[in-house]
Structure 1
């Protein structure tokens, strides 16, 4: 009987959805050396990589992926700083060292935090060009923000394997399973199956380190996956409406995101004629941290300095690798 009661309790604990949207404004947003302070007073831990021995000539504001945090950009941040580009990255709400980790904040809140961060970076570096860089989920947040009614003022965006996978791009069974789970046990935490044969990078040591990192979330609440799906759907719909020059990066070995929505997104990016799409033959989902991630970082730095110059890696001539995958 005791086991039955415990089992029922565990089941019921997953029956309530939880969110943490932005609260009412109570202060002016601010950027300290260690945190972004949002208008509702919420503190988002911040990391920064600044050039040594001189002022930067450009700034990148970077957004991490799902269940990750700002440390995702440590390698890229150091490399870009060595090229004279200042890099800022913060833990998005519900991730990293923020309060209430694992609880989804909602697309509007993620976008509002991004806009506040852009404003503060401009205030910190007046007159310098500012670029947004989003990896995976971070790329989806960038797309949502840049196609909103009041997009942030930036010179361009760098989308690293942006997460574009809404409901209309899902198969019937994944969509039905998500609907059923959200409507019955939204608070249940699920973990990827151990036999799931999806590889995010060829950098195995890095992946093992992420598994040991206490700030990397290992499981996901169903309601967080529901919110992520909404965000990715918004991002997919936004791809054909991005107006600022953008560098869109994917790996030929992309396994985290399905082929169909990725190719649909790339076609939309290419339709405007103002964006550069690059596909790396040795690249995976976590392009910046792959074994050949430095090649990607070098392309990013060169594109920021001259977006009209062909990429030295030649990845901007590899579109067919992704389509044929």
Structure 2
């Protein structure tokens, strides 16, 4: 009887795990040519993703910027105008499942995010022929940009900028983190988590953090299976330096006070990139480097990298 009870329990648990698998947001239902419309972008699978842009009068370069987890294109409203004043046009779109894009809160899938990035780069090049195009990724966006360079179909980039890239993989996490992540993602995938009460500061710009807290488009809670998907992406990003197909000129920037992505995996990735990347570390920098109180220092360093690389 005890063996039967154990067997039945195993069957029930197995069925529960199967029926509660992590959810991925659905793809679009039609094939389309990637196109930039006035205020939204059509992906190759027919989804419409909102975007923002800060235009230089005569752009000498373009930055396509990808935001981090829970965030959206508004993440670049501080550096965007500055770069525009320096002759660099910035585009930033709401990645699928974030901001005003479809299926908010559901994990979109890393491959779909990489394809969107490639599509957007293609559309930007069509709009600005002959102008150098740089891919910038912040946190989760940095993981998308970095892993896109390991794919057979890579985005056509003149340079890459990684801002506090999300490279905290399972191999860098304590065992109990990995167990808790698996259990929640596979038993209660719709359960939401937040950073409330953790006393973790993503930036020293308190007013900006308060604005995010009031912003209905900034996601305050995250599904457990979306965290699972993010960690899968970070696993890929952590291994990416050893799998790069090619490496355009690259700039990596991160802060010594980053409380979101531990310093050890970031430094390991930097070491593996070696001479392929220019690296700037900011002693007073937090995770949201571009929005820190001292963020303008980082904006200027990125502008200098873009100008130097574009002149080659």
Query: Does the pair score TM above 0.5?
Result: yes
- Return the match for 2:53 from 48, 52, 56: 48
Which of 263, 272, 281 lines up with 2:267 in the alignment? Answer: 263
**Post-superposition, which runs of at least 4 consecutive aligned residues in structure 1 deviate over 3 A?**
14-17
- Counterpart of 1:20 in 2: which secondary structure? coil
Name the residue aligned to 1:151: 154
Whether the 8 Å contact between 2:29 and 2:46 is mirrored in structure 1 is no
CA contact (8 A) 2:21 2:186 kept: no
Partner deviation per Cα, 1:270-290 (whole Å, 9 max, x = no partner) = 2xx131010011111000000
Query: Hey, what does 1:202 align to over in structure 2?
Result: 204
1:64-143 superposed matches below 5 A:
64-143=67-146
CA distance in structure 2 between the aligned counterparts of 1:29 and 1:307, rounded to whole angstroms: 27
> RMSD of aligned C-alpha atoms?
1.9
TM superposition shift of 1:18 = 2.1
Preserved CA contact (<8 Å) 1:210 1:216: yes
Answer whether contact 2:159 2:309 (CA < 8 A) is retained: no
Which moves more between the two structures, 202-211 or 24-33? 24-33
* Distance across 1 between alignment mates of 2:306 and 2:113: 25
Q: Deviations over 1:301-322 (max 9, x none)?
A: 011111499xxxxxxxxxxxxx
Of residues 245, 248, 251 in structure 1, which corresponds to 2:249?
245
Q: Distance in 2 between matches of 1:102 and 1:177?
A: 20
Distance, in Å, in 1 between the alignment partners of 2:213 and 2:116 is 27
Secondary structure of the structure 2 residue equivalent to 1:306: helix
Q: Partners in 1 of 2:147 and 2:276 — Cα distance?
A: 18
Structure 1 CA distance for aligned equivalents of residues 20 and 222 of structure 2 = 15
Q: Is the CA contact 2:258–2:286 (under 8 Å) kept in the aligned structure 1?
A: yes
Deviations 1:159-190 (A, max 9, x none): 00000012112110100100111121111111
Between 1:261-270 and 1:42-51, the stretch displaced more is 261-270
Instruction: Check whether the contact 1:61–1:133 (CA below 8 A) recurs between aligned residues.
Output: yes
Check the 8 A contact 2:270/2:277 in 1, yes or no. no
Instruction: Determine the C-alpha separation between the residues in 2 that align with 1:190 and 1:61.
Output: 30
Output the CA distance in 1 between the equivalents of 2:135 and 2:149. 10
CA distance in 2, matches of 1:295, 1:133: 16
Give TM-score, length-normalised by structure 1: 0.86
1:304 is matched with which residue? Answer: 306
Query: 2 CA distance for matches of 1:267 and 1:307?
Result: 22
Q: Distance in 2 between matches of 1:57 and 1:178?
A: 45
Higher deviation after alignment, 41-50 or 185-194: 185-194
